[in-house]
Structure 1
Amino acid sequence: MKRFKNFIKSEAEFKNYIHENHNFNDNVIQNIDFVILKVDWSQFTFKNTIFINCDLSQEDFIYLTKQGVFIYPKFKELPYKPTRKSLYTWKELMNKEPEDNITQDEKIYAHFNQTRFNPSMDEALTQRVHDYSIDNGLRELLMFDDEGMTEKKSVGFMGGHSSSRKSEYYIKTAQSARLLAKKGYYIVSGGGPGIMEAANFGAYMASYSDDEFNDALKILSDLDTCQQEYLHPNYKEQALKVIQKYPAGMENLAVPTWFYGHEPSNVFASHIAKYFSNSIREDILLAICLYGVIYAPGSAGTTQEIFQEATQNHYGTYGYYSPMVFLSKKRYVEDTSLYSTLHQLAVGTKYKDLLFLTDEPEEVLNYIQNHPPIKKEN
């Protein structure tokens, strides 16, 4: 099947398209009610055309299928929309209907959790369609070109989900993300608590002064001691206090998953690309951060992400070699020797010169600025 040229996702987009075109060749049309919007389909030609989640009269359905159009059946009632027009926002995920005791995010997680290990074919297909919609939303947001480079200069942050807001590397991560965002880099995280929140928080506060950043950090960390801080009953409330006091945050991105749906998505990301499939999410999260990935201290998940990114870099999987910055000499040299192990693995490769170890946010910024991604030679 050929590559699709257009994804028509609204009535307005549809009307604009037919104003200038008389065919729907290589088009995907989704989420439009054609029972209300009457269309004379005989004016158009169809080749490699797909309708997804559209309302059609029986007459239109029969006519379009005879023209070779593939019409994906309407989705059953679900707590999520498989064919999304855009990425999520934290307000959408945190929304709670008057009759509900849980948020929309929690409702989707509860639905997913019922069949996560053995989904029906219908459920598996709708999850895949949903995740493809998220893929497409990311392409539009980051503005990929035909060679796989993004217009937005994405830099990712990885690290432990349980890091306290008062911890050294939560603060250093937030400072690093803020410095990078001020210089025009687009900050990306896994979207959860801990180091992930620190990255989104730092980017969010890039439009504010140092004093305002420190004040916001103080508000965030005003919590009683708790073993898993993100489970503290006021964890989200303190973050919302920051949002209320400093509403004009800088744009940034989170890429979480319902696979870890028990972890709350943090509220500092302006765009949330939430996936059902964690394996796809992990791969995409690293792949889009072409301008570098910063690794703060973390545990098994962070270690996995280090070697997953190293594999992408080793083979130039996505057409570029990207910087890998390790933020914590103690964690990556003294405690684990992961940095030296990676250096040994990288001997003879392009990305060996893109490995860096530091404890200082300013050095993170300087290194990323002076080491742009290297294009893979064909």
Structure 2
Amino acid sequence: MQPTPLHASRDREIESLAEFDEVVSAGGSLAQFRVQAIDLTDRSAELLAVDTAGAVFLGCPMDPETAAKVRAAGALVFPPVPGLPFDPYRGLLYSPDELFGSLDAGYEATPDARAYAWFQRTKADGDIFASMLRAIHDDSVSDALDELLVGARVVGVMGGHAMARGTQEYEGAARLGRELARAGYTVATGGGPGAMEAANLGAYAAPFENSMLTESLQLLAKAPSFAPSVTDWARAAFDIRERWPSGGPSVGIPTWFYGHEPPNAFAEHIAKYFANATREDGLLARSNAGVVFLPGAAGTVQEIFDNATPNYYESRGEPTPMVLVNRAHWTERHPTWPLLQSLARERPMESRIALVDRIEHAPEALKRLGG
């Protein structure tokens, strides 16, 4: 699960210095390319030697004189924005190491916490510049996410943040993530704690012996929740990553809108958004092989019907599978299943929904529904 190679990309984007050097040396032209968030201060000679007509440079530091000449040659140059705790023009998704950098100084010192603090300061001040930066950032993240998932069979795992480490429910969600990953799916979650972390942990554990997950669950149970200390909670996850490096990949799609919920450290690729609506819709829309809904409250109920709506109006008769876990929860506590059934009977989605009693039955149900 890697970003699309440059030669296979139709949008002519350059997102690393290695790609920049490859294009310049191979073709000798940057005309019409889009160059994102690359430090080009040491590439003045190359920039001045190639055609840059129609190129767009997004947040690329470069020598001022070189930048002026590149503009004069017909390129658009959007300079970096100083003083931000994030890069609005980023070309790649976040990693756990990036978002939790400086964790040794406490979570408040990390880029993730500083980005949330900036969001809290600016989200209601009416400053069009701040809202524009948030929109550009989120669009850049969506672009990077789409590039990453080209050709992937993505299964979304939905569930609440309240599921604590050390519980049977958390263990079940982790085993689900592991089984999905071993079956060849890309596991995608909301990227936060609880059920989301558990599913990402399971995908991380997929390449290892089964005992690795058992031991990890025991170690994580010592820090069951991100409250009261996000620092301790996150350190426990990084201890697992250090003890068992190079785990399996998965995707987390969290949001700073719920900034009190930190991202989890087991998703290798993190698409973090400022706009929660963009994040929610994007997660469901990219779950092209189906979605598993674990027991949850208002947020999970909303996600069920956010997913059901495009399935209901699917004109090609190919709705994505939906598997709801825990019959009592979805028929009695939050009776979502009867309403979902009534919608499904009106459209060709009835054969693509299932209700299972136990979480271990979810992968087989997903397979049966065509996921």
* Common topology (TM > 0.5): yes
Shift of 1:333: 0.9
Partner of residue 321 from structure 1, selected from 307, 312, 319: 319
1:148 alignment counterpart: none
Partner of residue 74 from structure 1, selected from 59, 63, 80: 80
Instruction: Quote the RMSD (CA, aligned, Å).
Output: 2.6
2:347 alignment counterpart: 349
Matches within 5 A, 1:33-52: 33-37=39-43, 38-39=45-46, 41=48, 43-44=50-51, 46-47=53-54, 49-52=55-58
- State the distance in 1 between where 2:26 and 2:222 align: 57
Distance 1:171 1:83, change over 3 A: same
- State the distance in 2 between where 1:220 and 1:246 align: 14
Conserved 8 A contact 2:174-2:202: yes
Specify the SS of the correspondent of 2:109.
coil
Shift of 1:185: 1.0
Distance 1:118 1:346, change over 3 A: farther
Letter in 1 for 2:98: E
Matches within 5 A, 1:146-295: 151-223=151-223, 229-233=225-229, 234-295=232-293
Specify the SS of the correspondent of 2:83.
coil
2:113 alignment counterpart: 106
- State the distance in 1 between where 2:336 and 2:12 align: 44
- State the distance in 1 between where 2:337 and 2:105 align: 51
- Percent of matched pairs sharing the same residue: 33
Stretch of structure 1 that moved more, 358-367 or 86-95: 358-367
Unpaired runs of 5+ residues, structure 2, are 1-8
2:94 alignment counterpart: 88
- State the distance in 2 between where 1:186 and 1:34 align: 34
Aligned length: 359
Partner of residue 120 from structure 1, selected from 116, 121, 127: 127
Per-residue CA distance 1:91-110 (angstroms, 9 max, x = gap) = 11111188885222111111
Matches within 5 A, 1:51-70: 51-57=57-63, 59-70=65-76
Per-residue CA distance 1:168-227 (angstroms, 9 max, x = gap) = 432222221111111111111111111111111111122233333222212222357xxx
Specify the SS of the correspondent of 2:279.
helix
Per-residue CA distance 1:336-367 (angstroms, 9 max, x = gap) = 22011111012232222111111233421112
Specify the SS of the correspondent of 1:207.
coil
- State the distance in 1 between where 2:80 and 2:141 align: 19
2:5 alignment counterpart: none
- State the distance in 1 between where 2:67 and 2:167 align: 59
Letter in 2 for 1:284: G
- State the distance in 2 between where 1:85 and 1:260 align: 24
1:147 alignment counterpart: none
Specify the SS of the correspondent of 1:87.
coil
Letter in 2 for 1:83: Y
Specify the SS of the correspondent of 1:82.
coil
Conserved 8 A contact 1:172-1:360: no
Specify the SS of the correspondent of 1:265.
coil
Distance 1:312 1:30, change over 3 A: same
Stretch of structure 1 that moved more, 99-108 or 284-293: 99-108
Conserved 8 A contact 2:154-2:188: yes
Task: State the TM-score, normalized to the length of structure 1.
Answer: 0.86
Unpaired runs of 5+ residues, structure 1, are 144-150, 374-378
Conserved 8 A contact 1:4-1:28: no
Distance 1:203 1:8, change over 3 A: same
